[in-house]
Amino acid sequence: MLRGDTVLLRPLKRSDITNFLKWNNDPEVIQYLAMYLPMTEMAQEKLIEDAASRIQAGTGVIFIIEVTEGNSSKPIGPVALNGINPRDHNATFGISIGEKDYWGKGYGTEATRLILDYGFQQLNLHRISSSVLAFNERSIRLHKKVGFKEEGLQREAIFQNGRFHDHVMFGILRDEWKGH
């Protein structure tokens, strides 16, 4: 469990499937993730099993972001480091707040800072990569705010909603991470 001021990151549970089915079938959310197929219960179960296998193998970590509200807390989406490469000490960051009412309130920034800290301090990573669809202004601002550097642009790489979109590539090195 990783605790911040307004969010905590907790391990995945089987019962999270209900939340994932809601989040991963919401067109407003998945437009930013370049997903477009309906997410079935069977496919979602497999995704959760695969995530658990990656944790076992040491190739990925995933947490559920929870917002503390009085005595209870509300799960709002996953945050993850995938493709953990122990030789080169790098990994790829991903986040998706599936509860739209919780967008733009600073929770994504705090969850990102917590998992970057975990990646650099606990997993001993040297570099964390990420990529963002060019129209996802909220995510681009988040990346720059926490210290990611823009490293390139894959032009018209992703087809979404009837047209091709640029994909912005980001990276952050351990030395650049000062708990931004």
Ligand X SMILES: CC(C)(COP(=O)(O)OP(=O)(O)OC[C@H]1O[C@@H](n2cnc3c(N)ncnc32)[C@H](O)[C@@H]1OP(=O)(O)O)[C@@H](O)C(=O)NCCC(=O)NCCS
Please tell me whether residue 24 binds ligand X under the rule CB under 6 A: no
Task: Select 90 or 109, whichever has its Cβ closest to ligand X.
Answer: 109
154, 135 Cβ separation under 8 angstroms: no
Residue 77 sits at the vertex; the CA angle it makes with 52 and 130, to the nearest 5 degrees, is: 80
Residues in contact with ligand X, counted by CB under 6 A, come to a total of 22
Task: Select 58 or 100, whichever has its Cβ closest to ligand X.
Answer: 100
Please tell me whether residue 80 binds ligand X under the rule CB under 6 A: no
Please tell me whether residue 135 binds ligand X under the rule CB under 6 A: no
Alpha-carbon torsion (24, 82, 176, 112), positive or negative:
positive
Please tell me whether residue 96 binds ligand X under the rule CB under 6 A: yes
Dist CA 128 CA 143 (whole Å): 11
Least Cβ distance, residue 94 to ligand X (angstroms): 7
Please tell me whether residue 95 binds ligand X under the rule CB under 6 A: yes
Please tell me whether residue 19 binds ligand X under the rule CB under 6 A: no
Q: Which residues contact 38 (CB under 8 A, 6 or more apart)?
A: 25
Least Cβ distance, residue 175 to ligand X (angstroms): 22
Please tell me whether residue 132 binds ligand X under the rule CB under 6 A: yes
Please tell me whether residue 6 binds ligand X under the rule CB under 6 A: no
The contact set with ligand X (CB under 6 A) reads 29, 32-33, 77, 95-97, 103-109, 132, 136-139, 141-142, 145
